[in-house]
Amino acid sequence: MALTKRRDTALAKQSFDYAPAPEAVDHVKIADRYGLFIGGKFVEPKSGKHFPTINPATEAVLSHVAEALAADVDRAVEAASRAQQSWGRLSPSSRARYILRISRILQERARELAVVETMDGGKPIKESRDVDIPLAAAHFFYYGGWADKLEWAFPNRSPRPIGVCGQVIPWNFPLLMLAWKIAPALAAGNTVVLKPAETTPLTALLFAEICQQAELPPGVVNIITGAGKTGSLLVQHPDVRKVAFTGSTEVGKLIQRSTAGSGKRLTLELGGKAANIVFDDAPLDQAVEGIVNGIYFNQGHVCCAGSRLLVQESVAGALLEKLRRRVDTLRLGDPLDKNTDIGAINSKAQLEKIEGLVESGREEGAEIYQPPCELPAKGFWFPPTIFTGVSQSHRIAREEIFGPVLSVLTFRTPAEAVEKANNTPYGLSAGVWTEKGSRILWMTQQLRAGVVWANTYNRFDPTSPFGGYKESGFGREGGLHGLIPYLELN
Amino acid sequence: MPDRVEVRKTYKLYLGGEFVRSESGRSYQPAADVNIPRGSRKDLRDAVRVARGAFAGWAGKTAMNRGQVLYRAAEMLDGRRQQFIAELGGGRRAGREVDAAVEAFIWYAGWTDKLAQVAGTVNPVAGPYFNFTIPEPTGVVGVVAPDEPALAGLVLRIAPALAGGNTVVALASEKSPLPALTLGEVLATSDFPPGVVNVLTGFRKELLPWLASHMDVNAIDASGCSREELTAVEEAAAANVKRVVKPNGRRARLTPQAVTDLMEMKTVWHPIGV
């Protein structure tokens, strides 16, 4: 299913094709059906309902997973509540050891998890193998280490667990987002009911098996599958004391509204429309790599994607020329192929959303560039796309597309760059490319965003706090700050 | 006939560094002998506008400079100690309340240039990157003052918000607005740039819904809200994902968390290499 390129330039005619390099899948076992993971066991859903999960690159059904409805959510929250007392009172070093065990098992089963992540979600195997799974394991290792050091992290503040956490995660980094949620929650002594996204439930269910393998006490982690309705039941459950959500700003606002007056603690990690800003003195070749990584990493299904390129007018022509040449070399196709750069779009619904916004870009007068690129016949695909001549009022400059679509705007002065970069209700991330140190620090101060990557982009680490300003949400995940939302502190 | 006819003070809103009547021209009488401006939705919007305008300047001042201004507020307040005691009804309790308010200004003044060292981190990421996290102000903060204690309750909330570099639109207690309006005179003489802190009086039900739903307010300290008010504030706050500081059932106390609750954490990455 590798991409066939048809290019007319002499250079392209000389270039070599890539031989297929598919990742083996024979070592992976996916069950035909999964129940809900409640109280340490897989149980049949009381709802009696299951729904299919498919491979977005082939549209083949991978498995059927249970749909948790009210009675199931009750049961899961009950299991977590029952486990809360003993888990919260377990010696901190024992808690640490369970979490560290989980981290180790994630490493041991890394290949299997990477393959399933790619099959269920459509992301290139090189990303799930090199980014998602190692970072997920690293998160558990990092927070496992905090579990018995909370008194040192928050001196004089008597850190205590909050209680049952209801966590709802998105489909773009399924296992990694699970790790971002579960690792700090457990380290702080809480128990968890987690709902993975309906299109990517499988690695969370494998994680449930890993909890069994680690002999984590029953009920400390519960995994319930389902769609928006399940998530809504979970976050509104009266015995859930802490809600953590990663997903769209639209749903985040609904959750904030629905938990009003409940006294629940809440963290939201929502959408973004990040500016990636390139100054005229930037190392352009490095910047091009950063721009590509910023917007085409994970098909652009990244809340912090650098979806608005702001380039200083004097280098716009040169930069765009380099960028188009680089985008021409991106390989789109079988996500399980180790050479693939751009995998499948996660779902039909997401593909339609991307197509709609791209259509609006055309209609509003922006100029579109897509490399010549054959899309596989089956599955959901969208070619890497660059819009130039974009103005700030265009929908493609304002709305989160969550796809491989870059909107290019230009600026003349640093002040104009700041003005344009901050001209959004979002504030999750930003990128700055310049060789001038003082300008980096000045830009860093001016940008109203929770993460600023200077001369790099889309870097993540368990020690590094991540989260948004403004409508990109509140609370931080990662680092010392990532513990705060999961603790009661004096 | 009295020997001396007292010169009475006209109580006014403190808005954009000026003392103004409500644009609505209305007033109300929490006590028989005093007319208090009954602020309107328009006054509130004006206050948010000037607070937004003042934000970049105040957030951009050095931490030391913000500390100096807050400390001056303590000096000004302490200098008017007797006046505030009288407005609070006199007695030892009123004296303690004024002292608590003075102490809050001094204590939070000291945090301005220390908070980043306590709440910030350098993060040892697994790669060749320099990575750090620092607190930054959230933006325009709405503060809902409690009825009791009318002065200290307000100061214990605006001082940490201002220390963090936010600008403030404060709703005074509806029942006891006098100390808040007189506090405006303290703030006006403390070198706060115009618009950094604004004090409105009026009916809670006429002002609070608009403060809570205003799209250019980034956070709201709802510690002074009743339970019903809090639910409504939280619902309205979702319109632009406002941060909401909830009442915790305890009297406000001095804690750096009061500052960080109204701050964002910014993480910066840069490669290390030759």
**Candidates B237, B267, B271; nearest CB to A466:** B267
Nearest partner of B66 among B167, B169, B163, judged by Cα: B163
pLDDT at residue B128, as a whole number: 98
Chain B closest CA to A67's CA: distance in Å?
28
Catalytic residue among A303, A304, A400, A477: A303
pLDDT per residue as tens digits for the range B104-129: 999 999 999 999 999 999 999 999 99
Q: Are A197 and A170 in contact (CB under 8 A)?
A: yes
Check pLDDT > 60 for residue B273: yes
Put simply, whether A290 touches B (Cβ < 8 Å) is no
Structure tokens at B162: 């201002």
Put simply, whether A238 touches B (Cβ < 8 Å) is no
Chain A closest CA to B150's CA: distance in Å?
24
List the A473-474 sheet strands across, edge first. Answer: A41-43, A36-38, A221-223, A191-195, A164-168, A242-246, A265-269, A473-474
Name, in order, each residue with C-beta under 8 angstroms of B99's C-beta and a sequence gap of 6 or more: none
Put simply, whether B274 touches A (Cβ < 8 Å) is no
Chain B closest CA to A138's CA: distance in Å?
10
Tell me whether residue A321 is one of the annotated catalytic residues: no
**Helix axis angle, B63-79 to B178-188, nearest 10°:** 130
For chain A, which ranges sit under pLDDT 50?
A: 1-2, 4
**Helix axis angle, A249-258 to B227-237, nearest 10°:** 170
Task: Examine residue B149 and say whether the peptide bond preceding it is cis (omega within 30 degrees of 0).
Answer: yes
CA distance A132 to A172: 10
Domains and CATH numbers, chain B: 13-20+34-271 (3.40.605.10)
List own/partner pairs for A142-145 with CB under 8 A and 24 or more apart.
A142/A183, A142/A462, A142/A463, A143/A99, A143/A183, A143/A184, A143/A186, A143/A187, A143/A462, A143/A482, A143/A483, A144/A96, A144/A97, A144/A98, A144/A99, A144/A100, A144/A102, A144/A103, A144/A183, A144/A187, A145/A96, A145/A100
Name the residue with higher pLDDT: B33 or B122: B122
Put simply, whether A381 touches B (Cβ < 8 Å) is no
pLDDT per residue as tens digits for the range B184-228: 999 999 999 999 999 999 999 999 999 999 999 999 999 999 999
> Best of B213, B267, B272, B274 to disrupt the A interface by mutation (most A CBs within 10 Å)?
B267
Q: What percent of chain B has pLDDT over 90?
A: 93
CA distance B237 to A256: 8
Place of tokens 């939280």: B234
Cβ–Cβ contacts within 10 Å for residue A121, how many?
Answer: 32
Chain B closest CA to A398's CA: distance in Å?
15
pLDDT per residue as tens digits for the range A200-226: 999 999 999 999 999 999 999 999 999
Name the residue with higher pLDDT: B33 or A399: A399
What is the arithmetic mean of pLDDT over B8-28? 96
| Contacts A252 to B, Cβ<8 Å | 241
pLDDT at residue B2, as a whole number: 84
Cβ–Cβ contacts within 10 Å for residue A151, how many?
Answer: 12
| Contacts B217 to A, Cβ<8 Å | none
**pTM higher than 0.90, yes or no?**
yes
Put simply, whether A360 touches B (Cβ < 8 Å) is no
Place of tokens 């700041």: A418
Put simply, whether A40 touches B (Cβ < 8 Å) is no
pLDDT at residue A1, as a whole number: 43
CA distance A142 to B28: 58
**Candidates B231, B264, B269; nearest CB to A456:** B269
**Candidates A451, A464, A471; nearest CB to B241:** A471
Catalytic residue among A23, A198, A269, A399: A269
Q: What is the mean pLDDT of chain A?
A: 96
- Does A440 sit within 8 Å of B266, measured CB to CB? no
- Does B127 sit within 8 Å of A256, measured CB to CB? no
pLDDT at residue B45, as a whole number: 98
pLDDT at residue B125, as a whole number: 98
What is the arithmetic mean of pLDDT over B130-156? 96
Name, in order, each residue with C-beta under 8 angstroms of A329's C-beta and a sequence gap of 6 or more: none
| Contacts B265 to A, Cβ<8 Å | 450, 465, 467, 476, 481
Check pLDDT > 70 for residue B240: yes
- Does B231 sit within 8 Å of A451, measured CB to CB? no
Tell me whether residue A211 is one of the annotated catalytic residues: no
Cβ–Cβ contacts within 10 Å for residue A261, how many?
Answer: 15
What ipTM goes with this model?
Answer: 0.95
